[in-house]
């Protein structure tokens, strides 16, 4: 069994790329998560909401904004409950309204991060991590949170070298 784990959220569907709406079959964060899997042989766990987000971008941002305003913990299809066997946990997500999508809160709050090394990565459309690094300190109590990696969504297919350097840090 590998000693590292990647926990991530990513949404396919309609999204903005430099001011233009495009439909993507694989989410940007998933592309990065798979590079990390490839480079480290880490185990991969995707956090999936029980109710999928709308494929339509404008509808999705409305749903996500309401969830955040309500400090919601949306139900997820399957939850990880034990990360005891892992030393390094990569945590990946898109920046949604300045922080992690709420299903990540649902998942991360169920885990014991005491003594773990956490390496966060985010994809975004200009705001980088936003407040998510601060939020991760609350969500991953007791973890040693390492320097994060922030990648614009439009650049993910050119980012494998950057990811490889960051994984080794
Ligand atoms: C609901 C929603 C909210 C978003 N909010 C922000 C934001 O506040 N700042 C930002 O830079 N990008 C924002 N974005 C853009 C995404 O962070 C970016 O497209 C990301 O790469 C999407 O990753 P994914 O394809 O893995 O889901 C938002 C996108 C969505 C769908």
The arithmetic mean of pLDDT across residues 4-32, rounded, is 94
Please state whether beta strands 88-94 and 144-145 pair in parallel, antiparallel, or not at all (unpaired).
unpaired
The predicted-structure confidence for 29-58, as pLDDT tens digits, reads as follows: 999 999 999 999 999 999 999 999 999 999
pLDDT in the model for residue 2: 57
What is the number of other CB atoms lying within 10 angstroms of the CB of residue 164? 14
Cβ neighbourhood burial of 32 (10 Å; 0-12, 13-18, 19+):
buried
The mean pLDDT value of the chain amounts to 96
Ligand 1 atom closest to 95 (CA) = 17
The arithmetic mean of pLDDT across residues 147-162, rounded, is 97
Q: pLDDT at residue 1 above 70?
A: no
* 8 Å CB contact between 77 and 45: no
The predicted-structure confidence for 105-122, as pLDDT tens digits, reads as follows: 999 999 999 999 999 999
Q: How confident is the model at residue 18 (pLDDT cuts 50, 70, 90)?
A: confident
Q: Is 94 in the pocket of ligand 1 (CB under 6 A)?
A: yes
Judge: domain 4-11+26-49+73-168, CATH 3.40.50.360.
yes
What is the number of other CB atoms lying within 10 angstroms of the CB of residue 53? 20
Q: pLDDT at residue 61 above 90?
A: yes
Ligand 1 atom closest to 9 (CA) = 26
Q: Is 96 in the pocket of ligand 1 (CB under 6 A)?
A: yes
Q: Is 11 in the pocket of ligand 1 (CB under 6 A)?
A: yes
pLDDT in the model for residue 17: 85
The arithmetic mean of pLDDT across residues 144-156, rounded, is 97
The arithmetic mean of pLDDT across residues 126-143, rounded, is 97
Q: pLDDT at residue 70 above 90?
A: yes
Residue 124 CA to ligand 1 centre (angstroms): 5
């Amino acid at each position: 069994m590998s000693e590292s784990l990647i926990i991530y959220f990513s949404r396919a569907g309609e999204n903005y790329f430099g001011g233009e709406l495009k439909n993507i079959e694989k989410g940007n964060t998933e592309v990065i998560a798979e590079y990390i899997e490839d480079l480290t042989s880490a185990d991969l766990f995707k956090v999936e909401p029980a109710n999928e987000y709308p494929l339509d971008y404008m509808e999705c941002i409305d749903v996500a904004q309401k969830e955040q305003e309500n400090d919601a913990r949306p139900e997820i299809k399957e939850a990880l409950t034990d990360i005891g066997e892992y030393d390094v946990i990569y945590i990946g997500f898109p920046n949604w309204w300045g922080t992690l999508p709420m299903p990540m809160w649902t998942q991360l709050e169920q885990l014991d991060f005491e003594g773990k090394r956490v390496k966060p990565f985010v994809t975004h459309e200009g705001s980088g991590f936003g407040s998510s690094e601060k939020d991760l300190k609350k969500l991953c109590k007791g973890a040693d949170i390492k320097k994060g990696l922030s990648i614009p969504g439009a650049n993910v297919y050119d980012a494998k070298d950057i990811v490889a350097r960051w994984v080794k840090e």
